[in-house]
Amino acid sequence: MATDLNAPLGQNRKESPARKRDLGRVLRYCGLGLGALAVIGISAWSALSPGHQTRSPAMPAATEATLATEPAPSSEGQGNGPGALHRSGALSGAHVEDVLTDDGATVRKYTPRSRETGGPALIDVEATRGQDPRMAALPNESLLEDRPEGRLPVIGPDGLRPMEQYARPWSGARGTRIAIVVGGLGLSQTGTQRAIRDLPPEVTLAFAAAGNSLQRWMQEARRDGHEILLQVPMEPFDYATNDPGPHALRVSSDAGKNLAELHRSMGQITNYTGVMNYLGGRFLSNADALEPVMRDLGKRGLLFLDDGTSAQSLSGTLAGAFEVPHGFADLVLDGELSRNAVLRRLDELERIARRNGTAIGVASAFDESVAAIAEWFEEAGGRGIEVVGVAALVKDPKQN
């Protein structure tokens, strides 16, 4: 005992067996705790990592199989040959599988699958209103059908309408909005070129079905950001004196003949949101003649713009019956053809828009009209006017 008391503190002391057992027990518990923390950390990292798919241990394989979705349809070709582009939906190159986890969450797994066609593909991410400006000159192949009259617009398999695909995007603000439609494009090469060059992209351009080089002009207009319409000739009240052309829709023609002429006009170009009348006072006032045309436009997902020159037009009534997006022009801007006269009409159109919230004006691609509209547009934005594509102002039965 004396030896122990006289020894330096903590030196040459022997550990008792009980103390050694306590120390070992502490070390074991610490090791177990660290191991548990490591397992929890690894599990959390795995669950949160982007490529991880959580599977419920209690879920049988058969249950998981019932959650697997079918692959999207294969891509559709846009042209033929080794260098052709192919358009695909966002999921057309993937197999999609949904798995339900223990906590009720669904984990979606995407795995690639082989494409049926080679070469590059154009991917449509989703069915949205408007078109990517980089692709605006190219049609959406899923919105076309091949007919003897040409490639005609149709509603896509997912319900997307040409009116929605080719509409010019706008701000969405509920301020004062005006749509201006300049028609007659394609009838004069110099006039068409000037209109596309000088008019701002917010102006809607209407191409006459009887024009020349329409597909080329359409592509140029779309690349510049214009929304476009197709002008279809129709019989006026003073027919013969005022002849809209050999392929006009006529009251005296039967429905089959008029639809064939309509489809012939439709096949001249692509990428348009709808149809506008060229003349047509008598045709638009005859319900029997107009009904098959409106029914066809509704089935194809196109809008109809009435130029507002005939007070007897039934286009609004029949458009509502067949769910055709429809609009009436409030003013013809160039009834008197001079720069100052067009500017006065634009001021009147602006007053209508401030009173009603929106207004639509139509004009032809005369030099005076194009110059006046371009001049007015430069100052319209400063007065709180937003110029939009005509598709933004039509009455759409599916939206209203």
Evaluate if residue 103 carries a pLDDT over 80.
Answer: no
Element (H, E) at 164: helix 162-165
Quick: pLDDT tens for 181-190.
999 999 999 9
**Are 156 and 143 within 8 A, CB to CB?**
yes
Out of 10-24, 95-109, 386-400, give the one with best mean pLDDT: 386-400
In the predicted model, what is the mean pLDDT of residues 179-201? 97
Quick: pLDDT tens for 66-80.
333 444 444 344 444
Return d(Cα 374, Cα 202) in angstroms, integer. 11
Quick: pLDDT tens for 310-358.
999 999 999 999 999 999 999 999 999 999 999 999 999 999 999 999 9
Helix (H, G, I), strand (E, B) or coil at 100: strand
Helix (H, G, I), strand (E, B) or coil at 21: helix
pLDDT above 90 covers a percentage of the chain that reads 62
Per-residue pLDDT at 17: 47
**Are 363 and 333 within 8 A, CB to CB?**
yes
In the predicted model, what is the mean pLDDT of residues 87-108? 58
What number of CA atoms fall less than 13 Å from residue 258's CA on the CB side?
24
Per-residue pLDDT at 242: 87
Return d(Cα 8, Cα 237) in angstroms, integer. 126
- Annotate 61-93 with b (16+ C-beta within 10 A) or e (fewer): eeeeeeeeeeebeebbbbeeeeeeebbbbebbb
Per-residue pLDDT at 324: 97
Per-residue pLDDT at 333: 98
Give me the domains of the chain, ranges plus CATH numbers. Answer: 61-126 (no CATH), 142-392 (3.20.20.370)
